[in-house]
Amino acid sequence: MRARVEEIVFDCAEPSALARFWAELLGGEAVERSADWAYVDPPGFVRVAFQRVPEGKTVKNRLHLDVGAGDVDSAAAWAARLGATPAGAVATDDYGRFQVMLDPEGNEFCFVGG
């Protein structure tokens, strides 16, 4: 038997606010299931959920999302207008250009382009 990823869950302080940010970024609608749990079901992507936890973020994420972007620079600028923060400069490796970003609660994600 094989399992499948049902959703990716981020620990956070403000689930509804983070769900609204990610809904703007990925598409879909932010849904508040309770004061401690919200999610977004972006089209063509696994559900991304947000769960309130009492402790704050203290270290780098062990997992992050790579988000495809045709134009990494434009995507990073747009995400910044939504409340994200660039973590360093746009970089290039053997696979293309990418920009590490931090969502409004400091969770890392990357815009990746060809």
Q: Which two tokens stand for residue 64?
A: 């992050």
CA atoms of 97 and 112, how far apart (whole Å): 6
Length of the chain counted residue by residue: 114
pLDDT of residue 59: 79
Intervals of the chain under pLDDT 50: none
pLDDT of residue 114: 63
pLDDT of residue 85: 97
Quick one: 108 exposed, middle or buried, by C-beta within 10 A (0-12, 13-18, 19+)? middle
CA dist 43 → 18, 46, 52 (Å): 18, 8, 24
The percent helix, strand, coil of the chain (3-state, each to 5) is 20, 35, 45
pLDDT of residue 97: 93
